[in-house]
Structure 1
Amino acid sequence: MKVEILSRELIKPYSATPPSLRNYNISLIDEVSPNVNVPTIFYYQANNIAVNTKHLKKSLSKVLTIFHPFAGRYIKESHSVDCNDQGAEFVEAKVDVQLHDLLSQRKNLKVEVLNDLIPCPIGAVDEYTDPLLAVQVSSFSCGGFAIAVCSSHRIADLSTKISFVNEWALAAGQQLLSGDDNKVPNSWNFDSALLFPGQNLPCLPSGLSRDKEIIQVHKVVTKIFYLSESKILSIRERAKVDNSSKKSPTRVQSVFGILGKAMIDVHVANPENPKGYAVVQAVNIRDRTSPPLKNQFGNLYLAACVQSVAGPEGVGLPCFVDCLSSSVKRAVDNCSVLLSLQKEGQTLLSQELGELLKSLARPEICFAGTFSSWCKFPLYEADFGWGKPLWVSGANIPMKNTVVLVDEKSGGGIEAWVTLDESDMQKFITHREIIDIMDCQ
């Protein structure tokens, strides 16, 4: 697949950001978030309406007026955003293949090719010249197209970005179909730093360079595994701690369990020298605090962590899933008191994040993995006026030992995006649990 860049420009907010909002301080959770750009790519089928980038730019400008930090620049010395309206980057490109050919290869897709559809390198963050939001619109030879949105994890999580994209799509769709450009997005709150003040904690290091991701350089590969609804039901049954129990673990925890077990087995199972491992799972806190943090800009998650030592034969699936579920439950329970405890809640969060960073650096931890679920997020609602996306994907983010789960469009199955270094991936796909998953594809 060959991608040709046609143009590159900055889209500024339609209205200037007021002086009172020019300085946006990031929160404690923003501080520890990885210094990476997170890509999300939306794919749309060919239709009788040509891709109108003019209307996309105009609607983007309108929505940036509300989501003003995305048009600013990050100041790493002060852990803040200068909301100077420099703008979000907008790239236009054309692709020499048909969209159908790309989508038909999904089960055997070399994920790194998707990185040609994103507008900036994953690791190009933290410099004042780096846009905090970048978009690439790629037109395929058949008339289909992809809209890739990269946002800096320094200031936004997936929930914030998807809300932004859906607001943009709604404004763009209304403008395209009816000429109405008066759509006003929902109001948003930009005071996360007041709720969870920063404390100059270091971020989770990505280990990435600022250059374009190249497999031969990073030697880290991403592979997509598809789990059907029936396969997930089977895994949930196997993951029960007590076979007599009527309650199964959740579909997300069960899938994390089966994939995490194989990853840990590959790394640390050793009959003569059992080794320690740590797994961190992000837990969205927006709907779990009291009161709920609706329309809150930024990173708002807790890190549920499991630390243990693998046995001679690795880890047992029921025990591992139970530990994952228990760690998430503890995080959810903490969510309910974070705001009501005020200063004590802030201290609790600070202590937990500080301990997490220390734990991952301990010498006895021989494997550290990061799990994130995109399930239940409204990824497939972004209709820019040409219908909803055929597929929503990530790209190859060369941070090893990560798993991202995404609902299939049908809602029943799950796509698991697993990233490992090349040698570990070869061992991973030959693990008996993974062979079982692959045999059912």
Structure 2
Amino acid sequence: MEVQIISRESIKPSSPTPLDLKTHKLCLLDQFRNNVYAPRVLYYPLNQDDLSSAIDIDHIVSKRLQLLKQSLSETLVRFYPLAGKLTKNFSVDCNDEGVYFVEAVAKSLLNELLIQPDPSLRNKLFPVDGSQQRGQVAGAHVAKVQVTSFACGGLVICACISHTFGDGTSFSSFMKAWAATARNKTSEEEAIYTCPNYDASSLFLPNKDDLFHQLRAISNASYTRFFETGRFVTRRFVFDTEAIAELKDKAKSSRVQNPTRIEALSAILSRSIMAVLNKKSSSHRPTLLSHAVNLRTKARPPLSEYLIGNIVWQTNALCTEEEVDLDGLVWLLREAISKFDGDFVKNLQGVGGLLELSEAIKHEAEAYSDAKNRIMFSSWCTFGSYGIDFGWGKPIWVSCVGLDGSILEFSPVVILMDTRFGDGIEAWVSLLEEDMALLEVDKNLLEFATIDPSPLKLAKQQ
């Protein structure tokens, strides 16, 4: 697939940000995040059945691109930090420089990409800023967008925000607001989607003292000690409704009588990936299973889902057994997540937040010092990405960007996403190339999952 960059520009807010809002302080939880981008890619076909046979595809694409830019500009008035740049002082300079926006053209048809998606091709849809060093914080764009138009009139929108600024829930609030603005929704829907809450730094007080820097170093070390350098690849393992129901049934126990979809899938993927990692090392290696947990829903009362920032923390479950059943893994996960309750979130707030986080970080560093491997999970299943409609219909598919061919220092990563109609789950698994070669022939996993099926086939079946 040949993709040609047509333009690079900055989309600025349609009205200037007030002087008293020119600096956005990051909260305590943001301060532990590195500047990485987790793009979401939305695929929109032209849907010619609803149009005249004598359509001007170029004209339609041009109008849609203009609508995307104009509505983005209007949305940035409320999401003004996204139009700024990160600083080295744990803040955003809300300078209205704008969102980094790339317009690109693919000469092929969108269906050619969707019939049998190639993860390495998806990387051509990602908005790469050539002036930005990987991992650099100071001067980094908070948000990036690339819109790629195809010869058939289809559009692919790849958008992302810096993880230093916000989590997946924050990103979803922005995308929903952008889409609502494009559809010119001005009633209750706009009131819900376009009122971001920037109180995170008042709730979770930022800190710059010596203790904070020590904790950040410990936290970073707890991630990087598991990194492996090599060529990573990404595969989609898709679980349909029947497979998920069967897995939930197998994962039942007296301790967890009703496993969730996420728990059941996390269990089988953990078991299979651990088997691969143990086989490579020719010995059993204790493995840390890490899950990102949304703290908004754990607070009592719950925090607003429109609270902007990284209102998440990693929960860890250490698996020391060489062979463990699905129900045992579900129990480990359930127990780990239960530690994040209303008291935990409350104690992170205010002047004592750093000390509470200090205890948690130091405890985990000691408790899991024997772990040799780590598998990181993140669920995007509640983000509502398939409902993002800019005025020409909902996306036919939503994806991540694969790591294929990348030489990286990384841990095994699993991202869980809903299928189009929400009844199935796509597990995006990134592993070293030699490890993936073993995982993609794992009979226990393939009993329930299909590898890299066409999104078009899934849409037709559903």
TM-score, reference length from structure 2 = 0.82
Q: Find the counterpart in structure 2 of residue 392 from structure 1.
A: 398
Q: Quick one: which of 369, 372, 378 aligns to 1:372?
A: 378
* Rounded Cα–Cα distance in structure 1 between residues aligned with 2:283 and 2:135: 39
Amino acid aligned to 1:226: V
Q: Find the counterpart in structure 2 of residue 408 from structure 1.
A: 419
Q: Find the counterpart in structure 1 of residue 77 from structure 2.
A: 65
Task: Give the direction of change, closer, same or farther, for the CA distance of 1:266–1:365 in structure 2 (3 Å limit).
Answer: same
Task: Give the direction of change, closer, same or farther, for the CA distance of 1:186–1:358 in structure 2 (3 Å limit).
Answer: farther
Q: Find the counterpart in structure 2 of residue 323 from structure 1.
A: 332
Task: Give the direction of change, closer, same or farther, for the CA distance of 1:333–1:310 in structure 2 (3 Å limit).
Answer: farther
Deviation, structure 1 residue 334: 4.5
* Rounded Cα–Cα distance in structure 2 between residues aligned with 1:141 and 1:276: 50
Task: Give the direction of change, closer, same or farther, for the CA distance of 1:141–1:346 in structure 2 (3 Å limit).
Answer: same
- What secondary structure sits across from 1:375 in the alignment? coil
Alignment of 1:187-226 (within 5 A): 187-198=195-206, 199-200=212-213, 201-202=216-217, 204=220, 218-226=230-238
Amino acid aligned to 2:377: F
* Rounded Cα–Cα distance in structure 1 between residues aligned with 2:302 and 2:94: 26
Q: Quick one: which of 274, 278, 291 aligns to 1:281?
A: 291
* Rounded Cα–Cα distance in structure 2 between residues aligned with 1:70 and 1:96: 31
Alignment of 1:6-85 (within 5 A): 6-47=6-47, 48=51, 49-51=60-62, 52-76=64-88, 78-85=89-96
* Rounded Cα–Cα distance in structure 2 between residues aligned with 1:271 and 1:117: 36
Residue 93 in structure 1 maps to residue 104 in structure 2: yes
Q: Find the counterpart in structure 1 of residue 261 from structure 2.
A: 251
Q: Find the counterpart in structure 2 of residue 144 from structure 1.
A: 154
> Any idea what the Cα deviations from partners look like across 1:265-311, whole Å, max 9, x if unmatched?
21136998532211110111223312322121111112111123232
* Rounded Cα–Cα distance in structure 2 between residues aligned with 1:352 and 1:6: 48
Residue 166 in structure 1 maps to residue 214 in structure 2: no
Task: Give the direction of change, closer, same or farther, for the CA distance of 1:334–1:65 in structure 2 (3 Å limit).
Answer: same
Q: Find the counterpart in structure 1 of residue 248 from structure 2.
A: 236
Deviation, structure 1 residue 34: 3.8
* Rounded Cα–Cα distance in structure 1 between residues aligned with 2:282 and 2:426: 35
* Rounded Cα–Cα distance in structure 1 between residues aligned with 2:124 and 2:365: 33
* Rounded Cα–Cα distance in structure 1 between residues aligned with 2:72 and 2:365: 37
- What secondary structure sits across from 1:248 in the alignment? coil
* Rounded Cα–Cα distance in structure 2 between residues aligned with 1:246 and 1:292: 24
Q: Find the counterpart in structure 1 of residue 141 from structure 2.
A: 131
Amino acid aligned to 1:259: L
Q: Find the counterpart in structure 1 of residue 55 from structure 2.
A: none
> Any idea what the Cα deviations from partners look like across 1:63-119, whole Å, max 9, x if unmatched?
11111111111112x1221111111111111112211222221xxx33121111111
* Rounded Cα–Cα distance in structure 1 between residues aligned with 2:364 and 2:256: 34
Deviation, structure 1 residue 23: 1.6
TM-score, reference length from structure 1 = 0.86
Q: Does the CA contact (< 8 Å) of 2:104 and 2:147 recur in 1?
A: yes
Residue 113 in structure 1 maps to residue 124 in structure 2: no
Q: Find the counterpart in structure 2 of residue 435 from structure 1.
A: 446
Identity %, equivalent residues: 32
Q: Find the counterpart in structure 1 of residue 317 from structure 2.
A: 306
* Rounded Cα–Cα distance in structure 1 between residues aligned with 2:387 and 2:182: 13
- What secondary structure sits across from 1:437 in the alignment? coil
Amino acid aligned to 1:396: G
Task: Give the direction of change, closer, same or farther, for the CA distance of 1:353–1:296 in structure 2 (3 Å limit).
Answer: farther
Range with greater deviation from structure 2 (321-330 or 190-199): 190-199
Amino acid aligned to 1:279: L
Deviation, structure 1 residue 143: 0.8
- What secondary structure sits across from 1:306 in the alignment? strand
Q: Does the CA contact (< 8 Å) of 2:205 and 2:350 recur in 1?
A: no
Task: Give the direction of change, closer, same or farther, for the CA distance of 1:204–1:380 in structure 2 (3 Å limit).
Answer: farther
* Rounded Cα–Cα distance in structure 2 between residues aligned with 1:146 and 1:439: 24
Amino acid aligned to 2:8: R
> Any idea what the Cα deviations from partners look like across 1:130-162, whole Å, max 9, x if unmatched?
211011110011111111102110101111111
* Rounded Cα–Cα distance in structure 1 between residues aligned with 2:24 and 2:256: 49
Deviation, structure 1 residue 50: 2.9
* Rounded Cα–Cα distance in structure 2 between residues aligned with 1:271 and 1:96: 45
> Any idea what the Cα deviations from partners look like across 1:143-192, whole Å, max 9, x if unmatched?
111111021101011111111011011111228xx9x9xx7763222231
Alpha-carbon RMSD across the aligned residues, in angstroms, is 2.8
> Any idea what the Cα deviations from partners look like across 1:400-441, whole Å, max 9, x if unmatched?
301010011111110000000101111112223223234697
Which segments of 5 or more consecutive residues in structure 2 lack a partner in the other structure? Answer: 52-59, 207-211, 454-462
Residue 351 in structure 1 maps to residue 359 in structure 2: yes
Amino acid aligned to 1:118: F
Q: Does the CA contact (< 8 Å) of 2:276 and 2:439 recur in 1?
A: yes
* Rounded Cα–Cα distance in structure 1 between residues aligned with 2:35 and 2:179: 27
* Rounded Cα–Cα distance in structure 2 between residues aligned with 1:165 and 1:357: 36
- What secondary structure sits across from 2:184 in the alignment? helix
Q: Does the CA contact (< 8 Å) of 1:285 and 1:335 recur in 2?
A: no
Would you say how many aligned residue pairs link Structure 1 and Structure 2?
Answer: 416
